[in-house]
Amino acid sequence: MTIIQLKNTPGAYKLVAIGHAGKGEGEKENLVCAAVSMLTQALVQFCRERSYRARAYSDRIGEGDIFLRFLSNGEDLEISGAFRLLETGLDMIEQSYPGRIQIVKINEE
């Protein structure tokens, strides 16, 4: 299972994804893992390209984990929209493949 923590509040955006959504278990499970990886890695690349305008920025893509932190001096509508798009895609995966991913929304820093 992949546990995904998301924070999308004005000025503070965060993604933490840990684990595999069934890597190696079968074709369907590998598709879930690949979909989660592509969505989250696309968000990281999108944010990297805009990191010059962040007050603080860091990311890491590892084997089975992704971390992204983007702090701005107020709401960044483009970054917030990208996080909403990610959340929509992950929600669709979570509904279609129960028990493979879990999305946790965080409010604290």
Per the CB < 8 A criterion, the answer to whether 8 and 77 are in contact is no
pTM: 0.89
User: In Å, what is the CA distance from 60 to each residue of 2, 41, 96?
Assistant: 16, 10, 28
For residue range 68-94, list pLDDT tens digits in order: 999 999 999 999 999 999 999 999 999
87 touches 39 (CB < 8 A): no
Round the average pLDDT of the chain to a whole number and report it: 91
The percentage of the chain sitting over the pLDDT mark of 90, rounded to a whole number, equals: 75
Instruction: Delineate the domains of the chain, giving CATH numbers in brackets.
Output: 2-105 (3.30.70.1490)
